[in-house]
Structure 1
Amino acid sequence: MRKMTKKNKVLAAAGALALVAGGGGAAYAYWTTTGEGSGEATNSEGGGTVTLHADFDGGLTPGDVRSVSYTADNADPNTSTKVGVLTASVTTDVAGCLPAWFDVTAETSNTTVDADSAGTSVGSGTLTFKDSATEDQSACKGSVVTITVGSV
């Protein structure tokens, strides 16, 4: 085996140092690597339409005020949904019985309606048959008053 000269020792040490520095540089570059990416998936069409109902006692006469309860049915077997702000309006089945003679309110409870459920209470309100001192309201005798309820 040959004896290493001072020059060979210096070159060997410099080479070793270069290898260590180069390896450390690669590790440094690895830890500071950046990147980006994304992913996507299509959500269910769930949370769909619920069927809303208004329930109140019949037999209205001018001046009556009735409590109205609002309920919802959710036929979707997989997804619950939340009923938002309720809206309500009145129609009648007789042309002379004017919807303007009625006031209806709908107070929202912002209730979650569970999947595959029926009759969940979602709000309440009142139905008022306003009494008129100046108009004959006889056309409303025996008429059907319908409250149409919606959610927005």
Structure 2
Amino acid sequence: MRQLTKKSKVIAVAASAALVAVGGGTAYAYWTTTGTGAGTATNSAGGGTVVLHANFDAGLAPGNSETVTYTADNSSNTGTVVGTLTPSVITSVAECLPAWFTVTAKTSNAAVAANSNGTEVGTGTLTFLNSDANQDSCKSAVVTVTVASE
């Protein structure tokens, strides 16, 4: 075997250093994997809760009817829809029977915008039925239509 000269040794060391600098010392890593997954979330209560109101003119007398306008207030940041309205009648005087009144409600899935008040969501009719009984107790009664929505 032939012996390297001092000049050859310097060249060999320089060449080795150049290889390391140029790419001989470059390394990289990566991982591969496989898998599956799933997630779930629970939604909040749709558009939140709305406050419903039933409005009708005063002066209802036996045998007469008044138009009822149903409105909704939505204080949430999300719009919602009011579905079927279910109205009922209560009175402030026990002798003024709620059975003497009928009330209807028509709605068509009315949209109620976020942060809104007084949005009309339906209409109906409140009727004070004639009875063979004395209905004078209703003269001083407050008749209230309550309404709920599904």
Structure 2 partner of 1:149: 147
**Shift in CA distance, 87/45, structure 1 to aligned 2, threshold 3 Å:** closer
Q: Secondary structure at the match of 1:52?
A: strand
Q: Secondary structure at the match of 1:139?
A: helix
Unaligned runs of 5+ in 1: 1-33
1:60-99 Cα distance to aligned partner (Å, 9 max, x none): 11011100000000000x2111111100000100011000
**Shift in CA distance, 95/49, structure 1 to aligned 2, threshold 3 Å:** same
Q: Pairwise mapping of residues 92-103 of structure 1 onto structure 2 (< 5 A)?
A: 92-103=91-102
1:18-58 Cα distance to aligned partner (Å, 9 max, x none): xxxxxxxxxxxxxxxx9643233443445111000000001
Structure 2 partner of 1:86: 85
Structure 1 partner of 2:17: none
1:68 aligned partner, one-letter code: V
**Shift in CA distance, 35/150, structure 1 to aligned 2, threshold 3 Å:** same
Q: Secondary structure at the match of 1:37?
A: coil
1:80 aligned partner, one-letter code: G
Structure 2 partner of 1:55: 55
> TM-score, normalised to structure 2's length?
0.73
Q: How far apart in 1 are the matches of 2:102 and 2:112?
A: 27
Q: Secondary structure at the match of 2:54?
A: strand
RMSD: 1.8
Q: How far apart in 1 are the matches of 2:40 and 2:126?
A: 48
Q: Are residues 1:67 and 2:67 paired?
A: yes
Q: How far apart in 1 are the matches of 2:42 and 2:94?
A: 49
Structure 2 partner of 1:11: none
Count of aligned residue pairs for this structure pair: 118
